[in-house]
Structures are given as C-alpha cells and as structure tokens.
Structure 1
Amino acid sequence: MSAQTAHPKSDSIEQDARRINARHGEVQPGEIAIGVIIGRTSEFFDFFVYAIASVLVFPALVFPYVDALTGVMYSFGVFALAYIARPFGTWLFMTIDRRHGRGVKLTIALFLLGGSTMAVAFIPSYEQIGVGSAVALCVLRIGQGLALGGTWDGLASLLALNAPKNQRGWYAMIPQLGAPLGLLVASGLFAFFEASLSPVDFLDWGWRYPFFVAFAINVVALFARLRIVATPDYEQLFETRELTPARVRETYRANWRNIMLGAFAPLASFALFHLVTVFPLSWILLFTKQSVTRFLVIEMIGAAIGVLAIVASGLIADRIGRRYLLGISAAMIAVFSGFAPRLLDGGEGAELLFMISGFILLGLSFGQSSGSVTANLPMRYRYTGAAIMSDLSWLIGAGFAPLAALLLSSKFGLFSVGVYLLSGALCTLGALLINKEFGNKAS
C-alpha cells in the first residue's frame, strides 16, 4: 500500500495527514512516543483546566446561592459526570472506529473534547440565566466525558508491544508523562491570571482564557496523532498486532475477569492522583487563609517532580518488574495514607512536604499503571479492552475522589481522607495478588 492511497472511509483531515506523510517519508518509531505524549498532555490539560476551575470559579459563578463548601461539592459532583459518561463514549466511538476508521474517530472525538472544553469559557453566570448555568455546565462536562472515551488511539499499546523485552517498563511510562505535563501548564496559566488580575476581573473573564488554550492544544494534538495513525505503514502495524476495535459487549463478555482485575489494579495510583492534584486546592481555598496562587505554584513544583518520578518508574520497573513496583508503590501509598493527609493542616512547610512526597509516590505508581491495564488481555481484544479497563479504573478510583475526600474531610477531618486512600491501596494489592498473570516480570 502506498502512502498516497487514501483509506476509503477517511475524512478530508485524515487525507491531509496522509499527504503530509507522503511528502515527509516513513514515520519513525520514536514518533509514536512523541504522538503519545502530545495526545495525553492535551487530554490531561483539558482535565486539569476544568478541575482547577471547579475549585476556583464554578462555585462562585454557577453555585453562588449556597455556601462556599457546598458550592465546591456541587462542582465536584458535576466534575464526576465525565467519568460516568466516558464508558458510553468508548462504546460510541468504538462503533465509529469499526465503521469509519481510527482517523475519523479521533477527529470527531478531539473536536468534541476541544469544543466542549472551549464552550465552558462561554457559560453565563447564575445571575444571568439562573439554573441554566448549571445545566449547561453538566451538558458540557458530559460532552468532555463522551469525547474522552473516543480519544483512545491504541498508540500506547502499540508502543508497549514494540518495546524490547528489557525496556517494557520504560515504554509503559511514556504515556503517563502527559498527566504531570498537563497539570504543569494548566496550573501555570491559572496562577498567572490569579496573580495578575483582581478577583473581580478573574471571575469575570480571566479564568476563561485557559479554556481557549485547551481548544488550540487539541487541534495540535489531533494533527500530531493523525500524523501517525493515518500512515499506511502504521495502519498495517496496528492490524498485524491485532490492535483493531472489537465490539464492547463481546470484549467484556470474553474478558470480564481480566477487565475487572485490570480495572482495580491501578486504583491506588488513581485515588492518589486526585488527592494530590485536585482535592488539596479545595482544602487550601476553603479551610486555610493561604494564597491560592502560591499553592498553584506548589502544584507546578509537584508536577515537575512527578515527571521525574514517572521516568524513574520506567527504570525501576525494568529491573524488578511492573507487578512488584505496583505492589511496592501500593504498600507505600498505604503507609502514606496513615499520616500524610493531615500535613495539609500543618502549615506551609507541611503542605509542601505532602505535595512533594505525594507526587513522588504518584509518579512511581501511576507511571506503570498503563502497563498493568493491558498486559493480560488477548491480542484481538487488547485495543478495546484496554479502553474499557481504563474507563472503569478512572470511574471507580478517581471519578468521585475529590467529592468523597472533601465530604469526608469536612465532616470527620483529614484522617478520613487517609482511610479513603488506604481503600484504594488495598484494592490494588488485592488485584495484584489474585491475578497471577501480573506476576510475570516479562508481561
């Protein structure tokens, strides 16, 4: 198949990507990693822009008729809608993938994701349209969730399958770099506008700019990923590796045990994910008198440390195996849960210690969570099964984590957040013990 041959089901954007490939030449394997990082960074940037606004903006803009704590809880409730919608998005976009191709699926999904995110910037306040403001926010959040279900392109699995046996941990961590990189950029933007503008101007228009940036980043990510998935050589590679869409119902019926175990295996890292990125900002805003801008800078520092920890996870996993690293990380998170959350109430130094240690643990555990999700799936179901397991992991482990942590801490104190985190660590350890296939160091 020549690079000039257009897939019969491709749209014009995918065909443009093919023509670029024809002039540029064969895509090099290292470009898979670049495409994966760009794609994941764009997705997590959208995620964190919304998450930060859920604390700093939406309670005052959309829910001003309740007290500040209740407003943030309402906002976190809307936040969870994307995780509920995401599995439905996977089903919808896998159908599009089977009928129209991977490029068409990605194009629709990323435009829906970017459009839903950017549209949030235009939401009127409660004072302008009443409860319609909350309804619009819910609709757009569901749109984000549906779109996230369609952004799975299989590049992470392709990267892992083509990795040398002694470097699978290294290649498994590459997709995870998008999370701290997305947080770094999102926190930096909000910190800039929070510090530069008056509170009135920030709530009036300043907070909207990061959402515009999100759309631009999604367009860049779209072409970066089409640059790879629309290439005939890589289409053939996807097919030979059997990374093609299967029916969601069929995939779940044939692999329900592996899917559920795979969904629970990374829960420690997924629970910790929101407890060091989203929840601390709400606690600082509601229960301390410290500067929000300062804490956003701390989050940027934590994100930078998280990048280094994720890289370290790849090196460590290649020496001791992914299962062992996940197990050790889960045990360390269990220990962390016993004392660390209370550091948020211990002053500036204690907060910094919480964030740094939390991001180190998050990087080590989250860095290998993608490998644990896909390692034990049959090849013909890996493309769809990996997406389903990821959806369930995020829904169970992270979707309601900010709301649960804030609700528990406001009623019972910060120690209860540690109990919640401990439950995630125990789920991970249990899943790893039950599924013996995770014990294969070469998986």
Structure 2
Amino acid sequence: MTTSTTYSEASPDKPVNSATRVATASFIGTAIEFYDFYVYATAAALVIGPVFFPQTSGTAQMLSAFLTFGIAFLARPLGSFLFGHFGDRVGRKSTLVASLLLMGVCTTLIGVLPGYATIGAWAPILLCVLRFGQGLGLGGEWGGAALLATENAPKGKRAWYGMFPQLGPSIGFLAANGLFLILAMSLTDEQFRSWGWRIPFLLSAALVMVGLYVRLKLEETPVFAKAIAQHERVKMPIVELFSQYWAPMLLGAASMVVCYALFYISTVFSLSYGVSTLGYTRETFLGLLCFAVLFMAAATPLSAWASDRYGRKPVLIVGGVLAVLSGFLMEPLLTQGSTWGVALFLCIELFLMGVTFAPMGALLPELFPTRVRYSGASAAYNLGGIVGASAAPFFAQKLVSMGGLSWVGGYVSGAAILSLIAVLCLKETREADLNKVV
C-alpha cells in the first residue's frame, strides 16, 4: 500500500481501555523502568567504581563506572528496533510486558552480582552484560508506553495523555534517589559499600511484579486494533522505517538530545562532582536532587498542557532557548560555595528538562504512521540518548578536568542548540491523525 489510509471511527468489537487504566499503566511502567535505570546511575556515581574496578585509581574508577553507565545507552537503540519490530507486528501490550520483564530481571541480578574482590575480572564483565540487558529493556519501554497513552487519547488531549509516561521518570528518579538517601543516612560508608547499595536493585523485583499486573490487565490500543483488522502491518517495520521515515526519525532523535543532556549532567555528573569535589556528603546532595526533581515533575503537566494548547514546537523552542542560556549558569552557581546556588542550578536544569521532555510523549509518536510508529518513536527516543546521555557523564568528567565547569556548561548549551535546530526543521504535529496507517 502506498497511499495514506485513515480508518473510520468504527473500531473492532473489543473492550476500550479506561482513561484511568491507560494513565496508570503508561505511568507505572515507565516509573519502574526508570527507577531501575536511575538506581544504576546513582550507584555509578557513588559505589560502582570501588566495588567493580578497585584495581585502578579513584579517577579511573569513576571513569570506568561512567563507561558502564553508557553501555546501556548504546543498547537502547537496539532494544528499540527489537521491541519496536514486535510492537508493530504483534502489538503494544505484549511487547510492553516483555520489555518490563527484561529490565527487571537484569536490575535484580546486578543486585546479587559479586564484586571484583570475589570473582575478579568476571565481575565487571558480567556487570557490562547485565547493563546491556537493562538498555535493551528500556529501549523498548518508552515507545510502547507513549503509544499506549497517545493511541488511547481523545482528540486535542494527546500531549496530556502522553504526559503520563513522561511523569514516570520523575517518580522513578525520586524513588531511586530517595532510597539511596535513606540508606546513606542509615548505614556507615563501609556497610553501604559492602551490601547496602544492593538493596535498591533487589527491590526492583517487587516493583516489576506490580507493573506486570497492571499491564496484563490492558487491552490492545484501538489504533493498533484497527490496523490489525485492516491487515495493515508490515513484515519488517525497521526496513520501512529506514527507507521511508529516516528523516523524522533523525530529527526526532536530535530534538531529544537536550532532554538527556539536561538530566544526566544535572544528576549523575553533578552528584559525582558535588560529593568528590565540592565536598558535600552523599545524603546532602541526594537530598538536593530529590528536591530539584520536584520541579521537573511540576513542569511536565504544565508543558504538556501548553503543547496541546499552543502546539509542540512553540513550547519546545522556548524550552530550548532557555536551556541554551542555562549552560552559562553552571560554573557561577556551582562554584560560588553556597548550597542555595547548587540547589538553584539543579532546580533550573530539571525544570527545563520537564519543559522539553513532556511534549515528546506526543510529538515522537505523531511523526510516524501506525505501521512503524512503535519502531520510529522508540528509535528516535533512544538514538537521542547516544548523543545526549550515553557519554555525557564521562565527557563531563573529562571536560571539567580540561577547562572547568564552564566547559561542561558549554556541553549543555551545545546540546540545546542541536535540539533547537531539529525542532525548527520538524513540522507541527498537534493536528496529526494517528489513525493513518501509511
């Protein structure tokens, strides 16, 4: 089929998911998945280096930990292609369940993985394998959650519905960092490094069971159900995606770069820098991050509402311009020696993360037709992570040693400029019809 097809409002005789069930399932899955991911990010900044790379210097330990952090981002595009294929061929629901299960299993196994002192070189090798599995799982998670929300959304409310998976990261991050904060306050450094850091990883198993229960109660989205009824699925969605929709995929990926850079520079790198260089205790800086992430959570619904009201592009352009300017605040706010300055920087960056991230729950699915939407939205989302997040903490550690925090701030501003250019090249998608198959 080469012409555009739009289905009528009549849908197959299947139960319709309630708004509450859609919001809960799309939110809770991403919250759990990002909890898993952020648990590792926090552990990488605090303890992964000494436990798995003790034979190196302190700086080398940190760089090695950040490299293992980046492995998952390299795996995420592969996960988006793998789960995207089945999401476009088999359905959104079953693919979402599989991605959540993979992520949860890998996270739990990291919690029981012996350190270098016990099994030697096998420890970092197995850590990298499990980290790769985490990335595969998360690569398939977000796209399915976003489609679950937007393909069930009423007209004019796609960004609002797409906001629910975008809220998941805020809650997942708050839960992960909050738990590490409690552990830091309850345990000695020796207890934390010996066994305490494993507790958040092991708790993932219980959280995954909750997420699986919620998602197994869902019905397939009505948009995909219509595609099945009309036999409008392709055998190899990834082939069609790269041959016909490579431009929106790459522009969508570039538009995501600023979100990743804002988040991972202000959390993973700043946590490491704050503890090792600025002299903050773990619990103090984790407390600051838990406070700042509330601003990200508050910005998410505001930005989603605005993008339904005024369009995706105006909101993203405003957020992008502010993100460019925010890069210049990093050095003065973090080096002036006051806690309020550090808190202000973290709040600004995470608020802007929420502003630029919220519209993506609707924008990326709107760039692609039903037959390749899971693959396209997932690929755009995760390819952006390679530039904006995978090596961000690693490069930031290198940049700060070469030229100071102003160079790291320049990294944030550069990422924002790249995303601004991509957004300006995209068409406005607020009025896009998600029922279109091709």
Q: Same fold (TM over 0.5)?
A: yes
Number of the residue aligned with 2:431: 442
State the distance in 1 between where 2:47 and 2:312 align.
39
State the distance in 1 between where 2:51 and 2:367 align.
46
Pairing 1:117–2:77 present: no
> Which of 375, 394, 402 matches 1:384?
375
Pairing 1:393–2:384 present: yes
1:246-284 deviation digits (Å, cap 9, x = unpaired): 521221211111111111112212211111221110101
With over 3 angstroms needed to count, the CA separation of the structure-2 counterparts of 1:270 and 1:244, relative to structure 1, is farther
State the distance in 2 between where 1:160 and 1:103 align.
14
Q: Displacement, 1:317?
A: 1.9
Counterparts of residues 24-423 of structure 1 (less than 5 Å): 27-97=17-87, 102-152=92-142, 154-229=144-219, 236=225, 239=228, 246-346=236-336, 347-423=338-414
With over 3 angstroms needed to count, the CA separation of the structure-2 counterparts of 1:238 and 1:401, relative to structure 1, is farther
Q: Displacement, 1:239?
A: 4.1
Q: Displacement, 1:366?
A: 1.2
Q: Displacement, 1:304?
A: 1.6
Deviation larger for 358-367 or 329-338: 358-367
State the distance in 2 between where 1:281 and 1:242 align.
50
1:367-391 deviation digits (Å, cap 9, x = unpaired): 1123332222233222221111112
Unaligned segments of structure 1, at least 5 residues: 1-21
State the distance in 1 between where 2:266 and 2:229 align.
40
Which amino acid is 1:204 matched to?
A: S
Number of the residue aligned with 1:13: none
Provide TM-score, normalisation by structure 2: 0.88
* Structure 1 contact 284–290 (Cα < 8 Å) conserved: yes
With over 3 angstroms needed to count, the CA separation of the structure-2 counterparts of 1:101 and 1:174, relative to structure 1, is closer
State the distance in 2 between where 1:207 and 1:344 align.
27
* Structure 2 contact 87–374 (Cα < 8 Å) conserved: no
Q: Displacement, 1:144?
A: 0.8
1:89 is paired with a residue whose SS is helix
Percentage identity across paired residues of the two chains = 33
Which amino acid is 1:82 matched to?
A: A
Which amino acid is 1:122 matched to?
A: V
Q: Displacement, 1:415?
A: 0.3
2:265 is paired with a residue whose SS is helix
Q: Displacement, 1:157?
A: 2.4
* Structure 1 contact 188–300 (Cα < 8 Å) conserved: yes
* Structure 1 contact 339–418 (Cα < 8 Å) conserved: yes
1:278 is paired with a residue whose SS is helix
State the distance in 1 between where 2:353 and 2:232 align.
29
State the distance in 1 between where 2:89 and 2:365 align.
24
